[in-house]
Chain A
Amino acid sequence: MTSRLHRPALVVVRYCTALAVVAALAACHGRSDPQAHRASAVQPQPGSTGATANLAPNDPPGEWRRQARDYANTRFSALDQVTPANVARLKVAWSFSDGIPYGHEAAPLVVGDTLYLVTPFPNIAYALDLSKPGAPIKWKYEPHPSPIAVGKACCDAVNRGPTYADGKLVYTLLDSEAVAVDAETGKPLWRTRLGEPANGMTITMSPLVVGNVVLVGNSGGEMGVRGQLVGLDLNSGKELWRAYSTGPDADVKIGEDFRAPYAWMRGKDRGATTWPGESWKQGGGTVWGWISYDPDLDLLYVGTSNPGPRVPAQRPGDNLWTSAVFARDPVTGSARWAYQFTPHDQWDYDGVNENILIDGRINGATRKLLVHLDRNGFGYTLDRSTGEVLVAKPFGRLNWARGVDLKTGRPIVNDDKQAKVEKEVQNICPTHIGSKDWEPAAFSPRTGLIYAGIFDICMDLTDHKVSYIPGTPYDGMDLKTHAGGHAGKWGEFIAWDPLTGKTVWSIPEDFMTMSGALATAGDLVFYGTTDGWFRAVDARNGKVLWSQKLASGITSQPMTFLGPDGVQYVAVVTGVGGVASQVMGKKNGFPPRGGTLYVFSLDGRSSASAPAYLKTQGSGAPGATYNTPD
């Protein structure tokens, strides 16, 4: 990947500044190699699980070019100016409001001296110039997507953010389009329609760019939309390939070199034969979550949503390949393996959550791993070369299954918690949005732990049979939610050991915790709460070291970057919404909406607040005098 905005010299200087506080880095003068510093900042520290990650494509450490920062989806930054010792000094440096009431779920990006933001519908992109006082707007791009999409999106008119590649800002529009904008000027370069919102398809996910291929999935599973992952050419926006999640092998891009890890998934056209008739055509399996990529195996990893309709009685069978993960070749889209987390899903357990790629020792051997905290409440660690399940342990409250049989890879379903038509089944855990939804976890190669915001919510569920009517919900689930535990806590923030499948520490939260996590080389983890607290936690022991109450709830993703002034900033967008407002919006104390980017630094230092940076100064003398017209 090359970039017009990438300036290596500046990056080295900034990186040195970042690490100047670290005693070990006395070598930070002259032309020291930033890669060497990064390597030391990302080594396992005493007490670590020993798990590590490949941080490719090794972007400049002060930048944040895609939502997950790296291909492995670690959301880990090598910046370490902010530490457990000084984090209590974090203060707001500046803020930026976008005036949009829908749920804010994206992280901003920083490339060079520019910060990029994409809003929820109507999906406006802003470039803010970090080199100028107050980070003024450099450009603004308004794509004007069709408003019809607002009434089709199941879970609010959200967007999960842009990605940067080769001088372009690439992102999706709610009305099922993808756009590329010149990152320097804001001029649109291409715009590609991927589906028809009138029939229920929308797009909220953040694309991933691998080489020359832009990978874009879709939403609309709740409207019987068929899941798809599309590869677009980065330079033209032209479609290179399209792989569906359901249907015959040719449609799913399953060929000769596909190997399912377990016998029950093998055979011809399983994406069609595990459904009644041709119901796979309205079978969901949409691809609205995160994509990760392993440059060594040259495979991308992406999950699929729950099947449609949500009423299982109408679709006997395993309903492949819904609620599953695919490993695919990014150039051709062809599938190498797939694994279904929840066969014949009955509870709305999408399999779209992030797949974090790490390496670690399990059963005495170092393996290439994929860690996935599924909506169904199990934390999975798979072999990412084959899809074999190595660890599957509950990370949240669950009672729909008694465990996952590691010999067959199948969950052992609890008969008592199977969904019934016109009969209420009480206290199914987790609820429809799972023990954890799309809000992405982070991984620190220093502790070897995964950090995640999760829920403790259960449901009483009654199913009603439902008809497929294009552009309307293919739903049928009638449910009431309640907190799982007796203490009435709806959320938690946890550290998870991916090699053993155990929770290491946990912070209970009053409201469901629906923010992504950020881990830094300063051994801090950041996350937000639905009721508007932004917190910094010691990555090693879960001690909450700093909390700041913000204007609205946080259901987005924190990130960190180095400003042109060499200062480490931590940023998060408030603006509660999405599923959190649907599930908890009526609970007392739930905050109002409103999208604002907050940027923090030690002591609030920035070019936006120091008097010396002000362009305008009072002169002390009267200016013009004003008279009435007559």
Chain B
Amino acid sequence: MTRSALMLLAFVAVTFTACERRAGGGTAQTMSVSQPSAQQLDQIPLGAPPGQPVSIAASIANPYEGQAQAAVEGKSLFGAMNCVYCHASGGGGLIGPPLNGDAWRYGGTPAEIFKSIHDGRPKGMPAWGGRLPSSEIWKLVAYIETLDNGVPAGPSVRDEAPPGSPAGPLAMKPATVDGLVVARKSDADDGRP
């Protein structure tokens, strides 16, 4: 690594930390938001219990909802944090799974995507909680929410799902069987987890 790259990274981290302190969780001056509490996020279970509406994840909105600038900043973080080299440009999927479809391993509500990024996931998804302030993680979520793989959403599972369920059973795909991942719907993923 070059020294300048290291410095860039350190600078980015410091800037974020500073911003977070200054704005109390929000970053840029234009965007002041109040984020869900850590406690709230801790209550999100991994997957939905059988026969029950999906967890409280659905009730937690992205604090940057409706702020286009957040998604723009999220996109540049997606490059700067090297997400793009694992998930491909536009989140099409490469080493990591696609982020542009409606099939999710760990849930596709904003809060679940937040947790995937913040906590990391077992098959090689790094945890960013210690590296990025949560405001920046929410911006990454905002960017990911804009991604689209061009495949029309199927006959709406949402409509048939129990009330309170954000996206129905497909959102909670229990993906692993004996350490392997069942192929995803998106053709961008050629079977590799």
Write the residues of chain A forming the contact surface with B, with a CB cutoff of 8 angstroms.
100-102, 121-122, 144, 147-154, 156-157, 197-198, 222, 224, 276-277, 279, 281-282, 309, 314-315, 464-469, 471-476, 478, 577, 581-582, 585-586, 592-593
Contacts and interface: CB of A to CB of B under 8 A. Distances in A.
B79 interface: yes
Nearest to A147: B123
B192 A156 contact: yes
A505 B66 CA distance: 62
Interface residues of B, number: 35
B125 interface: yes
A276 B94 contact: no
Interface string B150-193: 00000000000000000000000000000110010001001111
The 6 closest A-B pairs by CB, nearest first: A151-B124, A473-B85, A468-B1, A472-B82, A475-B85, A467-B9
Given A122-B179, A593-B191, A148 B122 contact: yes
A592 B79 CA distance: 31
A161 to B, nearest CB: 20
B125 A151 contact: yes
B99 to A, nearest CB: 13
B30 to A, nearest CB: 26
Contacts of B125: 151
B80 interface: yes
A153 B123 CA distance: 10
A473 B179 contact: no
A596 to B, nearest CB: 15
A465 B79 CA distance: 10
A151 B1 contact: no
Contacts of B85: 222, 466, 472-473, 475-476
B79 A577 contact: no
B5 interface: yes
Given A151-B95, A151-B123, A469-B131, A315 B2 contact: yes
A473 B190 CA distance: 20
Interface in B1-42: 1-6, 8-9, 12
A240 B12 CA distance: 42
21 contacts: A144-B179, A148-B123, A150-B123, A151-B86, A151-B125, A152-B124, A222-B85, A224-B1, A276-B2, A309-B5, A464-B79, A467-B5, A467-B82, A468-B5, A472-B81, A472-B126, A475-B82, A476-B85, A577-B192, A593-B190, A593-B191
Contacts of A102: 192
B96 interface: yes
Interface in B115-169: 121-126, 131
Contact of A478 (B1, B89, B191): B89
A424 to B, nearest CB: 14
Contacts of B126: 198, 469, 471-472
A344 to B, nearest CB: 14
B96 to A, nearest CB: 6
B1 to A, nearest CB: 4
B127 to A, nearest CB: 9
Contacts of A471: 126
B95 A466 contact: no
Nearest to A150: B123
A475 B187 CA distance: 24
A101 B3 contact: no
Contacts of A153: 95
* Best-surrounded residue of A101, A122, A224, A276 (most CB of chain B within 10 A): A101
Contacts of B86: 151, 472-473
Nearest to B94: A582
Given A147-B122, A150-B124, A277 B193 contact: no
A81 B16 CA distance: 70
Interface in B49-106: 79-83, 85-86, 89, 94-96
A157 B80 contact: no
A468 B83 CA distance: 12
Contacts of B124: 147-152, 197
Contacts of A144: 179
A348 to B, nearest CB: 13
A329 to B, nearest CB: 31
A468 B192 contact: no
Nearest to A586: B187
Given A101-B180, A152-B95, A473 B122 contact: no
A466 B9 CA distance: 9
B82 A101 contact: no
A277 B2 contact: yes
A100 B180 contact: yes
Contacts of A148: 122-124
A473 B82 contact: yes
Contacts of B5: 309, 314, 465-468
A469 B81 contact: yes
Contacts of A157: 192-193
Contacts of A198: 126
